[in-house]
Structure 1
Amino acid sequence: MNLICRSDIPDKEEYFNLFQTTGWNPNGVWTVDMLFVAIKNSWYIITVYDDNKLVASGRLVSDGFIQCFICEMIVRPEYQNKGIGKRVMNELLNYCKTKGIRWVQLACAKGKKEFYEKFGFKERAVDAPGMNLFL
């Protein structure tokens, strides 16, 4: 593997293909163009390429001062468990630190809790649960 980290916006088709490996879009709700607008509106994005193939990505949405939200941590299935997700997370968290962001949040995919705990993430207290609304 010849892995290269970048922080520029990836090609929209490449990103869509990477996103589709997650199973998060089974009904095709998000199109190629919608996802491209989403990544362009990110505060920061990190991508990982194996030569010219997009194999991983993670992005931040933030107000730029107080908090940010880690979105779409994705590593292609065939590249998982090789330290790539750790590399992406470290890049994202280091960027937050350099910008003075102290409150980092995320939504965790099923079965990935232990991965995030290694970086110090903790579940919200039972008496302070997060909430969401999917329209």
Structure 2
Amino acid sequence: MVYTIRETNPTFEKYQALHQTTGWNAKGLYTYEQLYQAICSSWYRVSIYDEHSLIGYGRIISDGIYQTFICDVMVHPEYQRNGIGTIIMEALLAHCKLKNIKWIQLSCAKGKQPFYQKLGFSERDADAPGMMLFFD
């Protein structure tokens, strides 16, 4: 199968349709307009298409020097386990290498660690856990 890789954001409608397959916004914390605005502020992004259908997406938030965070890596359920996630990640990582980024961070869904470990990621040390704050 030949897919088209673009370093651009998809249209709002295509993004919304793909994002809805993830269940990530089940609590409705953000509108799709807000989520789309967020991806438009990304440092780098990759959209994967099968013909005209958006089947995968991933993006990077970064200052372009040392703080880099990969987020929103998603693959349409009908295309999962076909290498699309790897294509997305390889494109994101290649851009980081091109820009001489040395430290890349990400958060992943429970059970997805093995996928990222195959790409060279490792879990943070137990004595250096991440922190978070969530406002209601």
Tell me which interval the TM-score lies in, with the shorter structure as reference length: over 0.9
Task: Please state how far the C-alpha of 1:2 moved relative to its aligned partner.
Answer: 3.8
Matched residue, 1:32: 32
- CA contact 1:67–1:102 (8 Å) conserved in 2: no
**Runs of 4+ deviating beyond 6 Å:** none
Q: Distance in 1 between matches of 2:17 and 2:30?
A: 12
Structure 1 CA distance for aligned equivalents of residues 48 and 134 of structure 2: 29
| Alpha-carbon shift at residue 19 of structure 1 (Å) | 1.1
Which residue of structure 1 lines up, in the alignment, with residue 23 of structure 2?
23
Distance in 1, Cα, partners of 2:91 & 2:75: 14
Taking the TM superposition and a 5 Å limit, the aligned residue runs for 1:1-135 are 1-135=1-135
Counterpart secondary structure, 1:71: strand
Q: Distance in 2 between matches of 1:132 and 1:27?
A: 18
SS of equivalent residue, structure 2 residue 116: helix
**What is the TM-score with the length of structure 2 in the denominator?**
0.95
What is the distance in 2 between the residues matched to 1:38 and 1:96?
A: 20
Q: Deviations over 1:22-67 (max 9, x none)?
A: 1111122221210111111000000000000000000000011112
The alpha carbon displacement at 1:134 in A equals 2.0
Tell me how far 1:117 sits from its aligned partner: 0.1
Q: In the alignment, residue 130 of structure 1 is paired with which amino acid? A: G
**Unmatched 5+ residue regions in structure 2?**
none
TM-score (norm 1): 0.96
SS in 2 for 1:103: coil
Consecutive unaligned residues in structure 1, runs of 5 or more: none
Aligned residues: 135
% identical aligned pairs:
51
